[in-house]
Structure 1
Amino acid sequence: MSTARAIRRQRHDAAQRPFIVIWESTRACPLACRHCRAEALPGRDPRELDTSAARRLLRQVAEFGHPAPLFVITGGDPFQRPDLTDLIAHGKEIGVRVAVSPSGTPTLTGERLRAVRAAGAVGLSLSLDGSTPALHDSFRGVPGVYDWTLDAWDTARALGMKVQINTTVTRHNLRDLPDIVRLVADHGAMLWSAFFLVPTGRGRRLDPLTAAEVEDVLNFVYDMGRTVPAKTTEAHHFRRVALQRQILARTGDDPVATLGLGPLYRELTERADTLGLREGERRVRRPPLDVNAGRGFVFVSHTGTVHPSGFLPLDAGNVRRTPLPEIYRGSRLFTGLRDTDRLGGRCGRCEFRRVCGGSRSRAYGATGDPYAEEPWCGYVPGSFPRQSELAALLAGRSSAATSGGE
Structure 2
Amino acid sequence: MDQKPGNTIHFDLAILGGGLAGGLIALAFAARRPSLRIGVFERGERLGGHHVWSFFASDLPVGGEELVAPIVAARWDGYEVRFPGMSRDLSTPYRSATGEKLDAAVRAALPPDCVICGADVVQADLTCVTLADGRRFTAGAVIDARGNAGLPHMMGGWQKFVGRMLRLSAPHELTRPVVMDATVAQLDGYRFVYCLPFSDTEVFVEDTYYSDTPDIDLPLLRDRIANYAAAAGWQVESVLYEETGVLPVIAAGDFAAFWREGPALPRAGTRAALCHPLTSYSIPDAVRFALDLTTLDNLSGDALLRVSHDTAAHHWRHARFYRMLSRMLFGAADGPERWRMLARFYTLPEALIERFYAGRSTALDMARVLAGRPPVPVGAALASLTGGGRPLADLGAIGGMKR
TM-score (ref. length: structure 1)? 0.29
More strand by share: 2
| Bigger helix share | 1
